[in-house]
Amino acid sequence: MFSRIGAAAFKKDLTNTIRLCDALGNPQHQFKCIHIAGTNGKGSTSHMLASILQAAGYKTGLYTSPHLKDFRERIKVNGQWCAQDFVTDFTQRIQPLIDEIEPSFFEITVAMAFDYFARHKVDIAVIEVGLGGRFDSTNIINPELSIITNIGWDHMNMLGDTLEKIAFEKAGIIKKGVPVVIGEVIAETKHVFERVSAEQAGSQIIYAEEKKYVAGWQYQHHQLTVEVVDKSNDSHHTYQLDLPGIYQTKNLLTVLETAHQLQLQGWNTGIDIIQKALPHVKRLTGLHGRWEVIHHNPTVILDVGHNVDGMAQITKQIELSDYHHLHIIIGMVKDKEIDAVLKLLPKHAAYYFTRAQIPRALDADSLLENAKRLGLNGNTFDNVNIALQHAISHAHTKDMILVCGSVFLVGEVSL
């Protein structure tokens, strides 16, 4: 499991996924789909698109990873987890092939999701890339549309040590004749997308930031209201989001352009449907862990941001928040840019260093030592829930407590 051991679980090969799906009758060809890659934002973008398609009345599959609490969160239809019986029956059904080819946890999970969506005859499925793109197990689909949210620094030990190399891996989801929506683009990566698109003759590139822009936003009471202008006709539209992170303004532009491209293909994804769906993404799809408020007085917030770009967005959100004193509970995994992430965090906060209960997690003492060198002070705790109870017991009612640094750490919160 990549979530447990990291790079050793990553296979640069699609052979096992192809073998599994062949044995299942190639379920990935039995439904329409959207494919989403990117360093950050692909989870939020996937859930927003799924909520739009659900609000439009389509039976919608959603495949994402990793999960926070329960494995079945990864495979949903109309926001409902797949059944436990399906997971066990599927595994038993393909056990002989598992014994023969020894696929990874992720390869089995992808095949399981495709089989589930085919059996439930979904109208469309939103498929999130697990890691990278080119060699990701999900990359055996032929989607209606591809999306790359952005390119940033993450998983460099597997995807490459430059933004160009990382972009090339993620551009691997671009398919011949399939349009691709690019969310954020920078000079170092634009030429990579254009080269890969040219090689995949007929794959039109649409840059979301060239089509629309955010004219203004308001963040109040952990709700986000965003005004977006369409550059083609200067029309203004306002959207209410129940995902309140300011970074969602970037994801929103990607979602809006994707919905427009789907509408051009004949899907019912117009502005009225979008405005109906976006205030209810969490209810419709079950998304958690994106600047999620789980407790008041003091305010306790969960955010799964864990790499440099993700933490930069979290610090912006902190600056916009009202609180008396700030408490940050943090745990990270060993293969992240630990110091680069810690350098972004505010020095005025009280820190609670801990770790997720997985082998990949960095031990709390090492995290504390790294943090001390960078001027961050606090104490260590055996797990996130001990840290959280300690923070709550020492916090003023007007304080803010943030849990961040690892998806796995957020998933262990039991408040």
pLDDT tens, 356-397? 999 989 999 999 999 999 999 999 999 999 999 999 999 999
What's the pLDDT tens digit per position in 36-58?
999 889 999 999 999 999 999 99
- Mean pLDDT to the nearest integer, 127-141: 92
- pLDDT tens digits, one per residue of 311-332: 998 999 999 899 999 999 999 9
Q: Among 80-89, 176-185, 194-203, 214-223, which is the least confidently predicted range?
A: 194-203
Q: Which residue has the higher pLDDT, 351 or 337?
A: 351
Assessment of whether the complete model's pTM goes beyond 0.85: yes
Instruction: Report the mean per-residue pLDDT for the chain.
Output: 92
Q: Is the dihedral of CA 236, 241, 245, 248 positive or negative?
A: negative
Question: In terms of pLDDT, which residue wins out, 4 or 307?
Answer: 307
| Architecture of the domain made up of 292-411 | Alpha-Beta Complex (3.90)
- 57-71, 76-90, 96-110, 183-197: which has the minimum mean pLDDT? 183-197
Confirm if 380 and 364 have CB atoms less than 8 A apart: yes
Confidence band, pLDDT 50/70/90 cuts, at residue 337: confident
Residues 367, 355: contact at Cβ < 8 Å?
A: yes
Please report the pLDDT score of residue 182 as a whole number: 96
With a cut of 70, say whether residue 246 has pLDDT above it. yes
- The answer to whether the beta carbons of residues 282 and 243 sit under 8 Å apart is yes
pLDDT at residue number 222? 74
pLDDT class of 5 with cuts at 50, 70, 90 = very low
Do 396 and 326 contact (CB within 8 A), yes or no? no
List the chain domain ranges. 2-211+259-267, 292-411
pLDDT, residue 2, reads 42
Mean pLDDT of 204-226: 92
* Tokens, residue 353: 């260093």
CATH class of 2-211+259-267: alpha beta
pLDDT of 71 strictly over 80: yes
Quote the percentage of the chain above a pLDDT of 90: 79
273 is written with which tokens?
A: 């449907």
Exposure letters 404-415 (e unless 16+ CB within 10 A, then b): bbbbbbbbbbee
Contact by Cβ (8 Å): 64, 287: no
